[in-house]
């Protein structure tokens, strides 16, 4: 793909109080926007996704008209306002172990190239910052070739790149590992092209960075990650025993029959305890049989889109000789993504909400990136007088 050079001689407009602006691609239900706009230093001025159901949830919570529901490959670059940042949580299906590992050439994950085409078409008006988010499998897809080609494509557009990995469990009681890339317009200054292992960069990522010096890196030091004390009881809705969400006895007993001997022991210990405790479970196929596997450490498994029964996360409540079983509610899924309870879910069918949150990001994790990376870099770019403000 040919490179379009960007002028580095224009003066920045000085402003001590302006908000940085962002366009959100693969916007989903707006959780990147929630994170960016918390604190008031960023404003999302454009959003795009192909899913009308996600658009419905987005527009129920953000009262503006800048959501464009369309295939990213069909967008008119001139219709996208100039801004400081593009974010892209592009489809993970072809990069994850749950998919066929078709990679960036797959039907859904190839949407990444739609983003690259937009950036190229914007020419001198492309944003100084780009942030990608995807599953950790992005790093290893096709032996690392997909990740390499994705980053080289950004290099060709005069971006240097950085990569790090965050787990939502640092902020919320959900295990959700995601790979992030921040690309910054190359200002020609000295760059750190090598990285050392840390809480945000695993050994496989370090090895990739240090063995791919054909990529123009700009590796930034990141602060220590927070450690939340939140656990499942902190996000569970206290539903009465006769609430319709709880499964009937027959369905709950069937769930118990699906537990392996090891997990059945764990369930019985919880049932016999003199206090209420919670566990989550997914159904998985083991040796040709559908099995339910409990997680009892107070942390939920990674939220997924409910493609088939195995994508729905189950809540197990037990104690004082009794137990109850149900699916996680939409509000509980929202809380596991760090979404405030003010986020509107009224009238949204459960499956639609599960799709929305299963495809979304952890809000406080994105806020951490914003506070510790994006805003700092955006301010340094503005102060350097190398790039024009596009607000």
**Does 197 have pLDDT greater than 90?**
no
Of the given ranges (17-21, 123-127, 174-178, 347-351), which has the lowest mean pLDDT?
A: 17-21
pLDDT bucket at 65, cuts 50 / 70 / 90: confident
Classify residue 373 by its DSSP letter.
Answer: I
Mean pLDDT (whole number) for 84-89:
96
Distance, in Å, from the CA atom of 313 to the CA atom of 275, rounded to the nearest integer, reads 23
pLDDT bucket at 287, cuts 50 / 70 / 90: confident
The pLDDT, as a whole number, for residue 215 is 97
The pLDDT, as a whole number, for residue 288 is 75
**Does 280 have pLDDT greater than 60?**
yes
Name the 3-class secondary structure at 177.
Answer: strand
Distance, in Å, from the CA atom of 230 to the CA atom of 209, rounded to the nearest integer, reads 33
Mean pLDDT (whole number) for 310-339:
95
Burial class of residue 347 (count of CB atoms within 10 Å of its CB; 0-12, 13-18, 19+): exposed
Mean pLDDT (whole number) for 102-119:
74
The pLDDT, as a whole number, for residue 4 is 44
The pLDDT, as a whole number, for residue 9 is 34
Distance, in Å, from the CA atom of 212 to the CA atom of 150, rounded to the nearest integer, reads 13
The pLDDT, as a whole number, for residue 92 is 61
The answer to whether 337 and 360 have CB atoms below 8 angstroms apart is yes
The CATH classification number of 20-226+356-384 equals 3.40.50.150
pLDDT bucket at 310, cuts 50 / 70 / 90: low
Mean pLDDT (whole number) for 294-312:
84
pLDDT in tens, 214-251: 999 999 999 999 999 999 999 999 999 999 999 999 99
**Does 103 have pLDDT greater than 80?**
no
Strand partners, 42: 20
pLDDT in tens, 123-156: 999 999 999 999 998 899 888 998 999 999 999 9
**Does 3 have pLDDT greater than 50?**
no
Which residues, other chains included, contact 60 with Cβ-Cβ below 8 Å and sequence gap of 6+?
344, 348
Strand partners, 41: none
The pLDDT, as a whole number, for residue 242 is 94
**Does 388 have pLDDT greater than 90?**
no
The answer to whether 225 and 200 have CB atoms below 8 angstroms apart is yes
Structural domain boundaries in the chain: 20-226+356-384, 238-328
What's the token pair of residue 92?
């993970």
User: Percentage of the chain with pLDDT > 70?
Assistant: 88
User: Percentage of the chain with pLDDT > 90?
Assistant: 75
- CA 114 vs. chain centroid, Å, equals 19
């Amino acid at each position: 793909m040919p490179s379009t050079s960007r002028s580095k001689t224009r003066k920045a407009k000085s402003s001590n109080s302006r908000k940085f602006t962002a366009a959100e691609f693969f916007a989903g239900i707006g959780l990147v926007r929630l994170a960016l706009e918390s604190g008031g230093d960023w404003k999302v001025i454009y959003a795009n996704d192909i899913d009308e159901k996600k658009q419905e949830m987005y527009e129920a919570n953000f009262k503006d008209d800048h959501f464009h529901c369309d295939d990213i490959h069909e967008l008119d670059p001139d219709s996208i306002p100039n801004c400081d940042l593009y974010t892209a949580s592009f489809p993970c299906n072809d990069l994850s172990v749950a998919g066929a590992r078709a990679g960036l050439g797959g039907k859904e994950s190839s949407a990444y190239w739609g983003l690259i085409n937009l950036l190229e078409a914007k020419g001198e008006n492309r944003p100084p910052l780009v942030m990608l988010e995807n599953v950790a499998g992005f790093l290893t897809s096709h032996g690392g070739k997909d990740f390499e080609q994705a980053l080289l494509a950004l290099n060709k557009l005069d971006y240097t790149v950085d990569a790090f990995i965050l787990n939502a469990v640092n902020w919320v009681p959900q295990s959700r590992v995601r790979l992030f890339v921040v690309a910054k317009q190359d200002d020609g200054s000295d760059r750190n092209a090598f990285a050392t292992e840390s809480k945000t960069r695993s050994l496989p990522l370090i090895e990739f960075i240090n063995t791919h010096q054909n990529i123009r890196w700009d590796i930034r030091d990141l602060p220590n990650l927070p450690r939340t004390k939140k656990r499942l009881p902190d996000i569970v809705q206290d539903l009465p025993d006769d609430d319709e969400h709880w499964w009937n006895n027959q369905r709950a007993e069937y769930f118990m029959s699906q537990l392996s001997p090891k997990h059945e022991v764990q369930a019985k210990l919880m049932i016999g305890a003199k206090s209420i405790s919670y566990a989550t479970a997914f159904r998985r196929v083991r040796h040709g049989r559908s099995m339910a596997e409990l997680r009892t450490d107070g942390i939920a498994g990674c939220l997924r889109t409910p493609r088939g029964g195995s994508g729905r996360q189950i809540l197990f409540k037990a104690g004082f000789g009794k137990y109850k079983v149900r699916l996680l509610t939409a509000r509980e899924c929202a809380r596991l993504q760090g979404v405030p309870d003010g986020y509107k879910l009224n009238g949204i069918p459960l499956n639609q909400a599960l799709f929305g949150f299963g495809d979304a990001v952890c809000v406080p994790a994105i806020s951490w990136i914003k506070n510790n990376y994006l805003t700092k870099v955006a301010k340094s770019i503005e102060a350097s007088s190398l790039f024009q403000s596009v607000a």
